[in-house]
């Protein structure tokens, strides 16, 4: 999960020693970044930021002028 990956990055750093002894990007960093992207996507789907909240609720729309559409909504 994101918290464990973040803790691993903090404990071991962004660059770690690979199997061959050379430096490599910490795999936990990739996991943390991917998890963060998923959290942002889910937050947007749930309306947790102002832009997505407006999209979900709808902005200030003008009154419906189509009588048939008004009948369908009532």
- Among 58, 36, 61, 62, smallest CA distance to 47 is for 58
Query: What residues in the chain have per-residue pLDDT under 70?
Result: 59-64
Residue 41's pLDDT is: 95
Rounded CA-CA distance 67/63 in Å is 11
Domain contains 22: yes
Q: How many domains does the chain have?
A: 1
Give the tens place of pLDDT for each residue, 50-60: 888 888 887 66
Domain contains 69: no
Residue 8's pLDDT is: 95
Residue 63's pLDDT is: 64
Residue 69's pLDDT is: 78
Residue 25's pLDDT is: 97
Domain contains 40: yes
> In 3-state terms, what secondary structure has residue 32?
helix
Residue 73's pLDDT is: 76
Question: By residue range, what is the domain housing residue 24?
Answer: 2-59
């Amino acid at each position: 999960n994101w918290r464990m990956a973040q803790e691993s990055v903090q404990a071991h750093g962004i660059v770690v020693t690979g199997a061959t002894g050379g430096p490599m990007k910490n795999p936990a960093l990739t996991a943390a970044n991917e998890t963060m992207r998923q959290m942002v996507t889910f937050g947007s789907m749930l309306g947790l930021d102002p832009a997505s909240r407006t999209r979900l609720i709808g902005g200030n729309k003008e009154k419906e002028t189509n009588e048939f559409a008004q009948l369908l909504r009532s």
